[in-house]
């Protein structure tokens, strides 16, 4: 009997030891609520990190995160009802809701749903933002106690100072709302603001913090110090396998601003220069991220802060004849996603198969905060705890009323509503999405399955588009059809591309 008791006691001790390795929402060495550092970049593709496979770019500090935590390979933006894809993406992140159900739309920049920063703030966290917001003034004021060097709008156009002389806003902690033009690169200004916040936090209060650090890099204008540009000369850049001079399908929106950044047809030289500037801006931003991480490591919060690194969406940068992110190809809808912190296995990889709107519930669970009932994206901690391998077996994607996508672990179906056309990719054998197999033997049943799943997913995300009348059914989100692409003229034509 004593031996049995000792065996049971020993087993109990082992189980307790194992459970201590799992993520606990309130774990820290001081048994305090953990801090959250969320780093969001702008337009950064999944394939722009050295540690995750791209040896042509140097990203030592994002690599630090990848080596220190879990990197997910298949995390998705659900798409966009706007050419400015970053706005709906950030709305999904900050409400935790699906694309067409955030409360935001082309006619409203306000929502009644609880916001992520607002929820942390109401739970006793000090909430801080620096960098790009793009979710509206009302939501900004609801979400954060303190803002330093906040870029309230979308991109940083050259006519308004570009990356080197941006207009940035400060507010909170005895500073009134004030916008000033700063004579400093955005990435450096945001890093300085984040570092200053970390260094002064302890003097201010003992509340846990939620930091929202959102770089405008590597969104154009692609301006970075010349020393970084010199590292990536055009002659050293290899074109991606799916580079094309022209898109193979005119989906209806290739006259948008992003696509006008390069001439049609794309040239190899121009595309290589484009990629080089993109890589230079990412490496410069990476160095600023390193400065923030160094400051955090020296602070009292080093052992009690969870870090999430991600981007709002990806970017084509020459792939498929495209420059921007207005598509459902993987280069545009997949994003890097890394989590670091207590209980998160180091230097591990996971598939994930979830959307960016899971950030809200995930950070809330880490902090031990009740997730609002309005949040639709689930926490991804079950993957970290080993309870699940993926969150979804099917993923939805869209771009305005021009494109729809449903994919599983192997196949991706892209449907063009205005063209009434299906394209099917075998992602296992064609990861660069170069070969349409929709007419291949055996593909009909796959298309049928994914078409049915797409209709289910449309309901799940609140997509109003109907296949028999895509333009009119999508009017609540699409507004007017762009000039030159009237309903009766849309087809496979690749001759007219106008800048807006």
Confidence (pLDDT) at 5: 42
Using CA atoms, how far residue 370 sits from 116, 122, 126, 250, 342, in Å, is: 11, 11, 17, 45, 20
Q: What is the distance between the alpha carbons of residues 426 and 435, in angstroms, rounded to a whole number?
A: 8
| 3-state DSSP of 344-388 | CCCCEEEEEEEECCHHHHHHHHHHCCCCCCCCCCCCCHHHHCCCC
Confidence (pLDDT) at 28: 37
Q: At residue 115, does pLDDT exceed 60?
A: yes
Say how far residue 145 (Cα) sits from the centre of its chain: 24
Of 359, 308, 334, nearest to 433 (Cα)?
A: 334
Q: What is the distance between the alpha carbons of residues 93 and 212, in angstroms, rounded to a whole number?
A: 11
Is 385:22 a contact under the CB 8 Å cutoff? yes
Q: At residue 497, does pLDDT exceed 50?
A: no
Structural domains of the chain sorted by starting position, each given as residue range(s) with its CATH number in brackets: 31-392 (3.40.720.10), 396-489 (3.30.1120.10)
Q: Which of 145-149, 221-225, 480-484 has the lowest mean pLDDT?
A: 480-484
Average pLDDT of the residues in 226-230: 98
Q: Quickly count helices (H) and strands (E) in the chain.
A: 14, 15
- Residue 422 β-bridge partners: 415
Q: Which of 102-106, 216-220, 272-276 has the lowest mean pLDDT?
A: 102-106
Q: At residue 352, does pLDDT exceed 70?
A: yes
Confidence (pLDDT) at 116: 98
Q: At residue 223, does pLDDT exceed 80?
A: yes
Q: At residue 187, does pLDDT exceed 60?
A: yes
Of 409, 354, 397, 394, nearest to 378 (Cα)?
A: 354
Q: At residue 311, does pLDDT exceed 80?
A: yes
- Mean pLDDT for all residues in the chain: 90
Q: At residue 8, does pLDDT exceed 90?
A: no
Average pLDDT of the residues in 389-400: 97
Confidence at 306, pLDDT banded by 50, 70, 90: very high
- Residue 213 β-bridge partners: 39, 130
Average pLDDT of the residues in 182-196: 97
Q: At residue 479, does pLDDT exceed 80?
A: no
Q: At residue 59, does pLDDT exceed 50?
A: yes
* CB neighbours of residue 302 within 10 Å: 13
Confidence at 25, pLDDT banded by 50, 70, 90: very low
Q: At residue 260, does pLDDT exceed 70?
A: yes
The DSSP symbol for 14 reads H
Confidence (pLDDT) at 135: 93
Confidence at 255, pLDDT banded by 50, 70, 90: confident
Give the tens place of pLDDT for each residue, 145-163.
Answer: 999 999 998 888 888 899 9
Is 331:47 a contact under the CB 8 Å cutoff? yes
């Amino acid at each position: 009997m004593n031996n049995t008791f000792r065996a049971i006691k020993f087993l109990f001790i082992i189980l307790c030891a194992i459970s201590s390795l799992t993520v606990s929402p309130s774990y820290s060495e001081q048994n305090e609520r953990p801090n959250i550092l969320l780093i969001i970049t702008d337009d950064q593709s999944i394939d722009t990190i050295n540690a995750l496979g791209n040896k042509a770019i140097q990203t030592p500090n994002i690599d630090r995160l990848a080596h220190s935590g879990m990197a997910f390979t298949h995390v998705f933006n659900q798409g966009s009802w706007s050419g400015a894809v970053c706005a709906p993406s950030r709305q999904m992140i900050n409400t935790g809701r699906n694309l067409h159900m955030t409360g935001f739309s082309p006619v409203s920049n306000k929502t009644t749903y609880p916001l992520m920063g607002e929820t942390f703030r109401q739970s006793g966290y000090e909430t801080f933002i620096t960098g790009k917001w793009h979710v509206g003034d009302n939501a900004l004021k609801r979400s954060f106690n303190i803002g330093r060097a906040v870029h309230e709008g979308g991109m940083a156009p050259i006519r308004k100072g570009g990356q080197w002389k941006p207009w940035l806003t400060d507010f909170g902690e005895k500073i009134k709302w004030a916008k000033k033009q700063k004579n400093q690169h955005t990435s450096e200004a945001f890093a300085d603001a984040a570092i200053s916040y970390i260094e002064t936090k302890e003097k201010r209060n003992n509340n846990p913090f939620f930091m929202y650090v959102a770089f405008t890099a590597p969104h154009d204008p692609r301006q970075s110090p010349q020393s970084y540009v010199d590292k990536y000369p055009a002659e050293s850049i290899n074109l991606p396998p799916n580079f094309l001079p022209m898109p193979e399908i005119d989906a209806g929106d290739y006259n948008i601003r992003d696509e006008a950044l390069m001439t049609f047809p794309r040239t190899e030289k121009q595309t290589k220069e484009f990629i080089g500037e993109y890589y230079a801006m990412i490496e410069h931003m990476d160095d600023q991220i390193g400065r923030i991480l160094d400051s955090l490591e020296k602070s009292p919060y080093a052992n009690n802060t969870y870090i999430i690194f991600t981007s709002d969406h990806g970017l084509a940068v020459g792939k498929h004849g495209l420059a921007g992110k207005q598509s459902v190809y993987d280069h545009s809808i997949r994003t890097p996603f890394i989590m670091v912190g207590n209980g998160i296995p180091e230097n591990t990889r996971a598939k994930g198969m979830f959307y960016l709107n899971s950030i809200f519930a995930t950070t809330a669970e880490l902090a031990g905060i009740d997730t609002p009932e309005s949040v639709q994206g689930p926490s991804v901690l079950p993957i970290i705890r080993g309870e699940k391998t993926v969150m979804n077996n099917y993923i939805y994607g869209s771009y305005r009323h021009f494109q729809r996508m449903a994919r599983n672990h192997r196949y991706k179906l892209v449907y063009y509503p205005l063209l009434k056309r299906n394209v099917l990719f075998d992602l296992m054998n064609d990861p660069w999405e170069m070969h349409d197999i929709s007419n291949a033997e055996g593909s009909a049943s796959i298309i049928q399955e994914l078409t049915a799943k797409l209709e289910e997913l449309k309901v799940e995300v609140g997509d109003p588009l109907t296949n028999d009348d895509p333009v009119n059914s999508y009017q609540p989100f699409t507004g007017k059809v762009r000039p030159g692409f009237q309903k009766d003229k849309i087809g496979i034509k690749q001759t007219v591309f106008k800048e807006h």
